[in-house]
Structure 1
């Protein structure tokens, strides 16, 4: 096994931190200058200092624009108080700064003149910069004509200061009429304009609904285009011939890649098993209404095929028909090119039927959905889960609804402990599913300190004297066992949920399925030990879900993938048969026999015995298993993920029959997780599905966006990225919080 590469140096890490801090401060200052932040940012400027030897950023400072003094950037608010308010800065005047801040709070961006309006203490000065010239009403007041001095001292506007903008616009119109010629914006060549529009179209298409087409008509966006010398664009320009051209381009590229591959796998996500019909039918996910069908190629790439809008529950054979139509639509009569399907629901009769009818196919259920179904199993069949959920609901209902005195006392405790108040989460009975129960548990755990303080409140004590329910709730809050059980159930669900999210992000192959479930069993065992819970019931639920999810291809791919070869005492790298159960060993033989032609079955089994005893050359095995550290996540990654398959195709050529099975099994994906996008447009199309034109355009737009996302291996949504961005900002930079608070008070 090769050694891992070194982690990023301390200088690089510090540089990254400094750069992020600098960008955060710039964003804060820009917002403040627009009137959405603290006053002092008008006088403080962030500076990014670089290391003279390496050139990397090393520190962030704040410079006072009034006196050029430089300070630490760790606490801008304190710097402002000590340097500006306390008079340390020789050029700072608090009264004038207050006036400037007041002016900044109401910026005038569309006028070219400024006015002086008298107030009780000092004139209100508004300055406006129009292109390269700056004019002030103060200058007009002292002009030789005297017009400014005659107007300003006596001008009283009926609307108050709010009239300043309107009056400035009037003056601007007068000046435009006197000199109608305006300086042209930056001149762009036709080639530059065409290229810019192409990039704009790419962004709109690939955003997949996150950017509204009608937003191209927004006045501010049009103003931006004019400012940079671009002509106005119409939404219709992006939904006509340009859309058709871009779709055809992506489609041709996709089909060419499929033709180059010897075989492929179909992935389908968005199906939802309808439990009301004994698991024998499917419905679309009611929040999306979209089933995605994509193609996984042996080289590790994925290509989008089509979107299917399903508007009602459908029988299982409908899903079977859709999958088979997709297969034949790709490869015609050469259906052997499709070596399998992976879909996102259990009890999929459609998958079993297709596999039984086509002996060369391996049809799998999605591991991501398998782990989430395990959480449902816990919610339904784990007594501890039921007990904890019942107690949390009882606690929430008491605090929220029993008495205004209790509720107000709880809010007072929340304010004291957390600085904010809210009701405890308590879903209504008709929406009490495992997601709601888990959210309720999280809310209860996050309020533990406030609940403990509630017991000390005099108002609660008075209620508890006469109310038996209040005494029971008080005893529950005092009971360490209640909190231990709550933490245990929450920890178990989080354990499985985190693994499911990692599966969604990593998109493991079929050979990884057995190790994944072994990892889950080990974590569940540790969880039982930590919380002193008997292992029997939990392990039984895990094994039941494992059997529902299990496919013989898991064991076969685990044995045939050189990535999982184990070095024995003699130095050989051999397949890990010792980690299989006797039944799983038989599954390997049966699956390999099924996947080859009848006259090759005995040859394939003989080659399997040779593989079992000889394995792979140690040098090649080590090359396949070589890992390096991912610079982004810090996790160890396989250097060349395709090497497992390539070894069978180029080096292990003596395994003619077994090699055919190995190369087809090894690349199969174990998840069907597709790309994510904004669903508002698709919901509208589902509601107005009678419009064939609208449906056709949306289908093409989805294809373009999905093709681009899969090309970049980007499976996240813009909403997820935005949430992560705000989460990071909230955790790493308290100055951003200051801006958000200031903005909310404007």
Structure 2
């Protein structure tokens, strides 16, 4: 890693000092022009309207040597190192002789600004907004001696500009004798007073938009749907925000109370969505229950367990939410799952052919499966892959060594003031930003997962160049003379092996995280489990070869996790799904038995005999033998395995995902009992990933969890929101989407910030 970063440092010997200076100056100039153009369009500071960037060329070489700011009002020239300070000293403080003649924004005028009271105020030019407010310059006393000034009538203004008047402009015609008791805020109030007078004199007003009753009802229905489907992101209290009410009035909608949206309207929407969901479940011959949220986040923390129904046609329907806190007993989880099943299908429990659930004691799944022979209960593959990172962290010495070195380096840099300051300087120089290395709050041995360590590891890898430059700094050289820890850290940073270890750990964790993320997004079926783990083994083998790491300890960790997650249904679905048929030399498409181990072949036989009745078991095994030797007609096999490119991701995908099941139901009818098992196995999901609730709603539930009415409303809100998200196949949370958006915006800002890095040394 160290070698790589050093190689990336550009060679600048071929460029002269003048050329380097010219390049930096021109970059600074372009950045200032970009900022000024945005400001003129209303997206930046007010003073850019009067300050213009300009290049100063070297008289001898003709190359740019400096950037200056020219005042467009008086042609004075200033340094461009700090435009804000230039504006304050030259414009705000009255140094510019022509600036006082212009109307200024309120933000540029201090409360005690001498410009408002200067005699020259009588001769100021009228700005475009000067017609908004006309105040008498006479300063005379108006009858009765009540006041020492009098105001002329105000020019009538559009009421929609009251806020603009109060916050964006002070007119040039304000007389030095007129000091309103409320300060500048009185300008808006004064304009509103005159508008009220005008309204009383001429009561005719232009009518606002008029909507029919049907249009109003439809608009409110859409509004309610948006609020419900946002599921906590939009609070009901925000409906009574003055600005939101003003918006509703502007578009012609009547005022309403937030209570309307948590009462009968919510009940009607819930009943409508629930009826649609139950109708779909009734139409399906069987279903699978998905249970997500049992994973404990922390002691005493509230968690939401989502219970979803997966149908054979590939759709998922939300069923209910259970709120739990802390660690949940296995028996309690078992009861919740069985209550959900009986609540869906009553006494016809055979309609539920299985459960897929995330992390909790596997005893609950095993108990339900043992009690009901037709069920296939699976653990979530997403959880299996993420748990593999914890396994590596606990069992591979490579992880422990890399983590200990990261802690040592980060704590030394963060906790030593002189070193920390020098490190920040080189961060700014190399990356345009600086910050502490993010050290986990707990020691390495006490960490429950690798997440915080992964963040620290990424920080160090991303700061490699800055750390190397830090060793050349005088402050570090002085520290090394006195502190043995400084010398130890310096040796570590110089050691290629240290960077190789960090890169190896980072690469492996990133590999697994990417596969887990793809599993969460794609939501694979049970037949894809064996290929997924085979793919993982192949990638990890390549990783071992690349970083010269022994395969045996790594494979041992993977196999232990594989056995914890393995279910015989993986092998059976893999064999029965026509998607995985292999064409042999005779042209037949046969099931891939040769890809199974002898134990997995036995698992296929055992599972099939368990899923049928005792009388049907021997017939099902005979049909399995026929399937093994004859397979599927080549035309149908190719039709099932046909792929097409996804226009969004560019990946090749199965053209008709339901064709594997439909072939068994419509074409392979001679397999009477084996087909019954196949159609039930093939559609089963291997992950429990689904609806993600917003943290805002969870916090609300935690605060009002003791209220029966509050919990009922929360259940209805979650049901409506989850139904909508699953219908759109939207499995991300609003928080994740916002994070992506802000990351994108910050990325755009970083480009501008890089351009505007202070080049005062140039």
- Residue 693 (1) aligns with residue 709 (2): yes
Q: How many residues align?
A: 645
The structure with the largest alpha-carbon Rg is 2
SS of the equivalent of 2:305 reads: strand
Aligned to 1:103: 105
Aligned to 1:247: 270
- Equivalent in 495, 499, 513 of residue 483 of structure 1: 499
SS of the equivalent of 1:423 reads: coil
Aligned to 2:199: 179
Matches within 5 A, 1:553-564: 553-564=569-580
Deviations 1:349-369 (A, max 9, x none): 000000011110000000000
Aligned to 1:152: 174
Question: What displacement does 1:442 show?
Answer: 1.2
Structure with more contact order per residue of length (Cα contacts < 8 Å, sep ≥ 6): 1
2:406–2:456 Cα contact (<8 Å) kept: yes
- Alpha-carbon separation, structure 1, partners of 2:507 and 2:587: 41
Question: What displacement does 1:163 show?
Answer: 4.1
Aligned to 1:357: 371
2:103–2:127 Cα contact (<8 Å) kept: no
- Equivalent in 595, 598, 602 of residue 579 of structure 1: 595
Aligned to 1:63: none
- Equivalent in 435, 451, 456 of residue 422 of structure 1: 435
- Alpha-carbon separation, structure 1, partners of 2:308 and 2:464: 46
Structure 1 residues 124 and 465: CA distance shift in structure 2, 3 A? farther
Aligned to 2:5: none
Ranges in structure 2 where 5+ consecutive residues have no aligned partner = 1-34, 51-68, 76-90, 110-114, 139-150, 155-170, 758-762
SS of the equivalent of 1:289 reads: strand
Question: What displacement does 1:38 show?
Answer: 5.5
SS of the equivalent of 2:325 reads: coil
| TM-score of the superposed pair, with normalisation by structure 1 | 0.80
Deviations 1:202-232 (A, max 9, x none): 1100001011111111122112112211222
1:141–1:147 Cα contact (<8 Å) kept: no
Matches within 5 A, 1:261-280: 261-272=284-295
SS of the equivalent of 2:239 reads: helix
Aligned to 2:260: 237
- Equivalent in 304, 308, 313 of residue 327 of structure 2: 313
- Alpha-carbon separation, structure 1, partners of 2:368 and 2:473: 65
Structure 1 residues 414 and 565: CA distance shift in structure 2, 3 A? same
- Equivalent in 383, 386, 391 of residue 397 of structure 2: 383
Aligned to 2:188: 168
Aligned to 2:528: 512
Structure 1 residues 37 and 299: CA distance shift in structure 2, 3 A? same
Aligned to 1:405: 418
Deviations 1:212-264 (A, max 9, x none): 11111112211211221122232111100000000000111111111000000
- Residue 631 (1) aligns with residue 647 (2): yes
Structure 1 residues 312 and 454: CA distance shift in structure 2, 3 A? closer
- Alpha-carbon separation, structure 2, partners of 1:587 and 1:348: 19
Structure 1 residues 172 and 706: CA distance shift in structure 2, 3 A? same
- Alpha-carbon separation, structure 2, partners of 1:670 and 1:446: 36
- Alpha-carbon separation, structure 1, partners of 2:100 and 2:566: 70
Matches within 5 A, 1:68-147: 103=105, 123=124, 135-137=131-133
SS of the equivalent of 1:390 reads: helix
- Alpha-carbon separation, structure 2, partners of 1:228 and 1:738: 43
- Residue 538 (1) aligns with residue 554 (2): yes
- Alpha-carbon separation, structure 2, partners of 1:588 and 1:678: 41
- Equivalent in 595, 602, 612 of residue 596 of structure 1: 612
1:264–1:337 Cα contact (<8 Å) kept: yes
SS of the equivalent of 1:306 reads: strand
Structure 1 residues 655 and 150: CA distance shift in structure 2, 3 A? closer
Structure 1 residues 151 and 686: CA distance shift in structure 2, 3 A? closer
Structure 1 residues 97 and 498: CA distance shift in structure 2, 3 A? farther
- Alpha-carbon separation, structure 2, partners of 1:295 and 1:249: 18
Question: What displacement does 1:553 show?
Answer: 0.3
Matches within 5 A, 1:482-501: 482-501=498-517
Matches within 5 A, 1:655-670: 655-670=671-686
Structure 1 residues 99 and 535: CA distance shift in structure 2, 3 A? farther
Greater alpha carbon shift after TM alignment, 645-654 vs 148-157: 148-157
Structure 1 residues 413 and 740: CA distance shift in structure 2, 3 A? closer
Aligned to 1:10: none
SS of the equivalent of 2:224 reads: helix
Deviations 1:430-481 (A, max 9, x none): 6634211111111111111111111011011101001111000000111110
| TM-score of the superposed pair, with normalisation by structure 2 | 0.78
Question: What displacement does 1:172 show?
Answer: 2.3
Structure 1 residues 485 and 164: CA distance shift in structure 2, 3 A? same
Aligned to 1:345: 359
- Residue 296 (1) aligns with residue 313 (2): no
Question: What displacement does 1:638 show?
Answer: 1.1
Aligned to 1:324: 338
Deviations 1:473-523 (A, max 9, x none): 000111110010001001111110111111111100000100100111011
- Alpha-carbon separation, structure 1, partners of 2:671 and 2:740: 48
Aligned to 1:110: none
2:135–2:173 Cα contact (<8 Å) kept: no
- Alpha-carbon separation, structure 1, partners of 2:534 and 2:549: 20
- Equivalent in 443, 456, 464 of residue 448 of structure 1: 464
SS of the equivalent of 2:609 reads: helix
Question: What displacement does 1:426 show?
Answer: 1.3
2:578–2:637 Cα contact (<8 Å) kept: yes
